[in-house]
Structure 1
Amino acid sequence: MTQRLRILLADDDALSREFLAEALASFDADVRSCDDGVAASKLFAKESFDAVFTDLRMPRKDGLELIREIKSGPNPIPVVLVTAYGTVDVAVDALRVGADDVLMKPVDLEQIELVLTRLAERSRLVAENRYLREQEAQRSPGLIAASPQMLAVDEMIDRVADSDVGILITGPSGTGKEVVASELHRRSRRSGAAFIQVNCAAIPPALLESEFFGHEAGSFTGATGRKIGKFELADGGTLLLDEIGEIAPELQGKLLRVIEDGKITRVGATEPRQVDVRIVAATNRDLRGMALQGEFREDLYYRLNVLPIELKPLVERPGDLEALTVAFLAQESRRVGRELSLEPEAMRLLRAYSWPGNVRELRNLLQRAALLTREACISAELLSPWLGELPSESPPLEAESGASIEAFVGCKLRDVEDALILATLADQAGNRTATARVLGISPRTLYNRLQALEAPAL
């Protein structure tokens, strides 16, 4: 088994119940026992379980009734019927009401191990499907392309989607490399199969080979059951190797062999398995430079980088900002159940910001604003504190400034500040974030001062 299962055991025979509980626990299952179907129903309603083992004949509520109740409820987990009445009719009745397996008493340990292994695998697949559904619900609304740079990327995706040669997507963190990889899969002939992502930087190096290729039971300490690797899960589909620059040199060689011959070998296995996987790699590092320095295999780099796709930082493609904002706001409107928009000044703040976190930062900012705003129109006042207090890049004024300072002698301090704000704003071509940086104040403070001045929008 690859995980610890929590088992509910119902059997009115004390000796049988104790044997089954000990046998299940010997395979690292967490067992809760009871002596009839009614007690089992109460426990099932109060606690969370991965599976139920139940006897057939019990007082107050028998095993078939318990199976029927569990399978018709909101949490229909696997149920195994264990019975001394091993007739074909009993097995057929049990399967008809929803039993996942039937064991005949006396049960031996090998039977129990086999059933638990199947249940663990099923539990893993259910959890993985749930994860994939959650990932799908959280995904960005496809590729948003409005700038010339992203329109060129969009065209490239159309041209290479059906090719199986290596594609390497590069660009700073948060620029949308996963979205591009997903679009490559969606537009390809492999779109009906799985799209699997692996973040190479998030998995400990010692476990990465098992994560890629899977393992057999007993292949290393803790490998109590067989595990299917990401290459097998992606068979027929696309595998995204994100942060590819983080994998260890010894695994780079094994990855190269898989790319060349399409065969993987599970850890602990002797026979290779053929897989048909389209590999897309992504990184925010300079793989070519790493290859020249000997930090990344040069032959693997060239196999991955047959078709390079480079994504620019968001600040270098301002044409995408408004389109992304509209798309993310539409997504958040559906999430919160009301229509959201940005006031014009808020949009101007977004345009003026440098977006060091790129598209991911923009999306996170709008998610936060959607949750916290009380109004349908998100204000600049709400957004400005999250854009950061920016340090001044200008040197302090010196007394030698002479005439420029003397020109303000006799004026009120507030008037001098107002004149400086307006002059700096004009000097920065209306860029409010840059103006705030030069003045050494926050964008929100600048916004409030301009509101007080009723300055014309620039």
Structure 2
Amino acid sequence: MAQNTILVVDDDAAVRTVLTRALTRAGYHVSTGSNAAAMWEMVAAGEGDVLITDVVLPDENAFELIPRIKQRRPDLPIIVMSAQNTIMTAITAAEKGAFEYLPKPFDLNEMLGVVRRALEQAASAAQRNLPGGAPAAEDLPIIGRSRAMQEIYRIIARMTQTDLTVMIYGESGTGKELVARVLHDFGRRRRGPFVALNMAAIPRELIESELFGHEKGAFTGATTRKAGRFEQARGGTLFLDEIGDMPMEAQTRLLRVLQEGEFTTVGGTTPIKADVRIIAATHRNLKQMIAAGQFREDLYFRLNVVPIRLPPLRERLDDIPDLVNHFLMQAVEEGLSPKRFSPEAIEVLKQHRWPGNVRELENLVRRIVAIYSEEEIGPDIIRAELAEMSRGAAPGLSEVSAGASLSELVEGWLQNYFAQHGEELPPPGLYDRVIREVEAPLISAALAATGGNQLRAAELLGINRNTLRTRIRDLGLTVMRTGRLRRRTARE
């Protein structure tokens, strides 16, 4: 069998040497070049079975040359590598028709794996060109060059070229809607509408009407026909945020739409074609919800076609400088005075736990720019503002991550509780107070999960029904029609 030839083009001799040695050991023949002219000469001569190239070359940007290469040799897989590790690098690589994008510094084993895959299958069909030029780095919707974000960029880049359903997982504030918008804005349906619906913000009894619309007279208050989000998003993207908060009856209807590709309005009988791409998001663990009977397993598999997990900010602390600079530039565009953060201030930011993730960092930067006159923000200002944020947050939770265990959350609450009393001990009764604080939301959550069914809630909690009723009474709670609890007033 003929030996496969890999073309390696990079103006860095060290990169060429490292790749040549690794590829040669793997059994490939390697031809190298240091600029775009050499790359085009090899490609035009019919050399190579795979092309590996850096983006920035001395004489020409590789992205400008790739379309000519694809026209001349459409079956040649092109692997793009770059130290400009932004989401637009990954998206542009996919848009130009590259087989794969790898950020620098790359992992040699990963590179060899990509080369193997490229040799096993033909390069993808020529991709549609995005209208207009690529936005400048400061205009990018998603910021970060950390390794944690690079894999996200690569998945996003691939998914902009398809209509596959995507499920985005991530804590609050990690940017789930930003990812959904990028998938839409750079995807096949970018000329259509982007419609978002947050399940947690809609009353349960109105979700079906919001999704599918309703006919006049379908229910009390339905005085006119109303188009639902599926109709509003026709030809575009429907983003279903916090899908884990969707009630079971609405889950059943959504599953039917995904299976059959059509729906009817509430009170309607005429089927309507569902011409949308679905992107869903949640901060919940859907597998645990399935086990608890709170989420349909068949719907999960329909939605979880391509999962994307967004890392919390504490897992990508190296991105903080880029994020801070991005928010500072946004503040200037909004008319605020230019500021810069000192290296020491950035280090203080990296030591914070960021329970609110990127959204918390953005709010901090905006507040500092607005209220401080200093051109350079030092570490003392950062510490003062973080302390102020801690005082304004829920007791004990300001430095606890959203992924913390229950014991860590309680420990944080208790530390704050004792700190508030200084050297004096708090009044007696702490044990009963803590139990009541934990027990009330626990019972409330169980009742909400079971739709207010006290028998099922008791089974979920592992206690008998009479014990549940007694605890509800002793805690001074009243069960509402929604299944939620509220404190009884003195008059009750």
| TM-score normalized with structure 1 length | 0.53
Distance 1:238 1:371 in 2: 36
Q: CA deviation at 1:145?
A: 2.7
What residue is the counterpart of 2:265 in the other structure? 266
SS at 1:361 equivalent: helix
Q: CA deviation at 1:319?
A: 2.0
Matched AA of 1:208? I
Distance 2:170 2:250 in 1: 23
Q: CA deviation at 1:337?
A: 4.1
Instruction: Please say if residues 167 and 307 of structure 1, whose CA atoms lie closer than 8 Å, have aligned partners that are also in contact.
Output: yes
Distance 1:340 1:194 in 2: 36
Give yes or no for the alignment of 1:243 onto 2:242: yes
Distance 1:182 1:145 in 2: 17
Q: CA deviation at 1:348?
A: 1.9
Identity of aligned residues (%): 46
Give yes or no for the alignment of 1:164 onto 2:156: no
Instruction: Please say if residues 181 and 240 of structure 1, whose CA atoms lie closer than 8 Å, have aligned partners that are also in contact.
Output: yes
What residue is the counterpart of 1:181 in the other structure? 180
What residue is the counterpart of 1:223 in the other structure? 222
* More divergent stretch after superposition (249-258 vs 289-298): 289-298
* More divergent stretch after superposition (156-165 vs 231-240): 156-165
Instruction: Please say if residues 333 and 370 of structure 1, whose CA atoms lie closer than 8 Å, have aligned partners that are also in contact.
Output: no
Instruction: Please say if residues 194 and 239 of structure 2, whose CA atoms lie closer than 8 Å, have aligned partners that are also in contact.
Output: yes
SS at 1:228 equivalent: coil
Q: Residues 223-271 of structure 1, C-alpha deviation per residue, up to 9 Å, x if partnerless?
A: 1112111111111111111100001001101001111222121112111
Find the structure with the greater CA-based Rg.
1
Moved over 4 A (4+): none
What residue is the counterpart of 1:289 in the other structure? 288
Matched AA of 1:224? T
Distance 1:354 1:340 in 2: 24
- Structure 2 gaps, min length 5: 1-137, 392-414, 420-492
Q: How does 1:178-217 map to 2 (within 5 A)?
A: 178-217=177-216
Greater relative CO, 1 or 2 (CA 8 Å, sep 6+):
1
What residue is the counterpart of 2:330 in the other structure? 331
What residue is the counterpart of 1:305 in the other structure? 304
Q: How does 1:362-401 map to 2 (within 5 A)?
A: 362-388=361-387
Give the alignment's Cα RMSD to 1 decimal: 2.3
Instruction: Please say if residues 212 and 228 of structure 2, whose CA atoms lie closer than 8 Å, have aligned partners that are also in contact.
Output: yes
The total of aligned residue pairs comes to 256
Distance 1:187 1:211 in 2: 26
Distance 2:230 2:345 in 1: 45
| TM-score normalized with structure 2 length | 0.50
What residue is the counterpart of 2:44 in the other structure? none
Q: CA deviation at 1:299?
A: 0.2
Instruction: Please say if residues 263 and 274 of structure 1, whose CA atoms lie closer than 8 Å, have aligned partners that are also in contact.
Output: yes
Instruction: Please say if residues 197 and 240 of structure 1, whose CA atoms lie closer than 8 Å, have aligned partners that are also in contact.
Output: yes
Instruction: Please say if residues 141 and 331 of structure 1, whose CA atoms lie closer than 8 Å, have aligned partners that are also in contact.
Output: no
Instruction: Please say if residues 141 and 327 of structure 1, whose CA atoms lie closer than 8 Å, have aligned partners that are also in contact.
Output: no
Give yes or no for the alignment of 1:342 onto 2:341: yes
Instruction: Please say if residues 163 and 188 of structure 2, whose CA atoms lie closer than 8 Å, have aligned partners that are also in contact.
Output: no
Q: How does 1:118-137 map to 2 (within 5 A)?
A: none
SS at 1:330 equivalent: helix
Distance 1:168 1:351 in 2: 29
Matched AA of 2:300? Y
Instruction: Please say if residues 345 and 380 of structure 1, whose CA atoms lie closer than 8 Å, have aligned partners that are also in contact.
Output: yes
SS at 1:241 equivalent: strand
Distance 1:272 1:385 in 2: 59
What residue is the counterpart of 2:98 in the other structure? none
SS at 2:269 equivalent: coil
Instruction: Please say if residues 141 and 328 of structure 1, whose CA atoms lie closer than 8 Å, have aligned partners that are also in contact.
Output: no
Q: CA deviation at 1:165?
A: 2.4
Q: CA deviation at 1:349?
A: 1.5
SS at 1:388 equivalent: helix
